[in-house]
Amino acid sequence: MTPSIFQLLFSLGIPLILSTIASIIPSQMNEELKIKLFKTSLDTSIIILRSQGFEATYDEMNTNIYNDYIEIKNINIRKQFESHDFPFCDTSKIKMDSIWKNPACELLINIENIKFKGFNFNKNIDNFFEINIDNISLDTSIFNDSSSKATKKLFKIEETINLNFSTKNKYNFNKNIFENSLYLDVVNFGKLQFEVKLSNLIYNQEKISAVLDAFIFEFVDNGVLEKIDTFLDIELNTNLTEIINNNLQIKSLLNIEDESKIKKIEEQNTLINNVNRHYPNFDQNTENLIEFIENPISLKCIRDNDHIMNDNIFEAMEDLGPILIFAVVCENIIIDDPN
């Protein structure tokens, strides 16, 4: 990823950071100051982007005090890259509309609407802080080298990729509870939703710990998993089912003579058996996950009962990898849930 892309992400994050600050210190800021802080941060983001060669514009910024939100409409971001700055673009394939222009790859992003909600303008409004981004449109013509064109054809990507995104956060200082949710809809590919609730957060230079009170990960497939499977088959000669079987299920030692392979399988089988003793739904959850991969409609990974998250569990996750991570966060796997 090029420095300019990093700069783009950093600049877009400034309004988020400062508006979050404005939302959590209502006693220190009146409505006018909060709006001024947000407007200043937005203009600062635009200035930073333009200083890095991006063309950045928006139509208007509206404030709704009663419904507690600020929205920005019709954001347009574009930048021209040289081929050495953007490896997925071949400038020799760019058709220029003027003889005076140098061949360059152009990144084009349009956002129909961004709404920031939760500034505590209205004290009767729920004090979650929300960001809703509607209809993000990425022009994919910049990805025009041979590899990118093949990938776009495989994934049936048309001229643009369109998506919607939202996030919702709340920290209850008095009770030391943090709640977060994320929603992402990539049109014609799939939708995912993520929710987490943490309590008793402790953090200092030596350690971090919390209680995972609730966790939900939900995914609705609109055809992307089949395309990923095809891509894995072409590039790595494998598929999602095989990856899950290799990482989360007990393996047979039948017809295996290589001692190093036997030792590795025995270690993984012992690990899975140990995990099963502490997380009795592990095997059934794995079977449900495989069933979903083979016939993808919808999947929901849920943890309803609290689970400690501390240095011991983090170190174990680092050592044991996906087996323990899957067991901890997915207490139950539900597939094709109509709700």
Is 185 a domain residue?
A: yes
The answer to whether 19 and 119 have CB atoms below 8 angstroms apart is yes
* pTM for the predicted model, two decimal places: 0.85
For 123-127, 146-150, 151-155, 224-228, which range has the lowest pLDDT when averaged over its residues? 123-127
Query: Are 225 and 124 contained in the same domain?
Result: no
If asked whether residues 131 and 187 sit together in one domain, one would say: no
Q: Do 25 and 121 fall within a single domain?
A: yes
Q: Is residue 299 part of a domain?
A: yes
Return the C-alpha torsion angle 36, 38, 43, 49, nearest 10: 160
Percent above pLDDT 90 for the chain: 49
pLDDT digits (tens, 9 = 90+) for 214-229: 999 999 999 999 999 9
- Residue 246 placed within a domain: yes
In whole angstroms, what is the distance from residue 156 CA to residue 222 CA? 12
Q: State whether 203 and 134 are in the same domain.
A: no
In a domain, 152, yes or no: no
Tokens 């009770």 correspond to what residue? 175
Whether residues 195 and 285 share a domain: the answer is yes
Residues 199 and 260 in one domain: yes
Collapsed DSSP state (helix, strand, coil) of residue 27: helix
Is 211 part of a structural domain of the chain? yes
Q: Is the pLDDT score of 274 beyond 80?
A: yes
pLDDT tens for 304-316 read: 999 999 999 999 9
Q: 177 and 258 share a domain? A: yes
Q: Above 50 in pLDDT, residue 29?
A: yes
| Predicted local confidence at residue 243, as pLDDT | 92
> How many residues belong to the chain?
339
- Domain membership of residue 164 (yes or no) is no
Please give the tally of structural domains in the chain: 2
Q: CB neighbours (10 Å) of residue 96?
A: 11
Burial of 320 (0-12, 13-18, 19+ CB in 10 A): middle
- pLDDT at residue 211 in the model: 96
Confirm whether 261 is domain-assigned: yes
pLDDT of residue 1: 45
- Region 178-201 average pLDDT: 94
Query: Higher pLDDT residue, 66 or 198?
Result: 198
- pLDDT at residue 3, rounded to an integer: 47
Q: Are 77 and 187 part of one and the same domain?
A: no
At 131-147, the pLDDT tens digits run: 999 999 999 988 888 88
Where is pLDDT greater, at 286 or 102? 286
Check whether residue 202 and residue 260 sit in a common domain: yes
Q: Both 197 and 269 in a single domain? A: yes
Backbone region of residue 13 per phi and psi (left: phi > 0; alpha: psi in -120 to 50; beta: other values): alpha
Domain that holds residue 67: 3-140
CB-based burial label for 234 (10 Å; 0-12, 13-18, 19+): exposed
128 and 183 both lie in a single domain: no
**Cβ contacts of 196-205, under 8 Å, gap ≥ 24:** 198/309, 199/175, 199/306, 200/176, 201/176
CA 32 to chain centre: 33
Query: Is residue 162 one of the residues assigned to a domain?
Result: no
Q: Domain check: are 186 and 313 in the same one?
A: yes
Within 10 Å of residue 317's Cβ, how many Cβ atoms? 17
β-strands 129-139, 69-81 pairing? unpaired
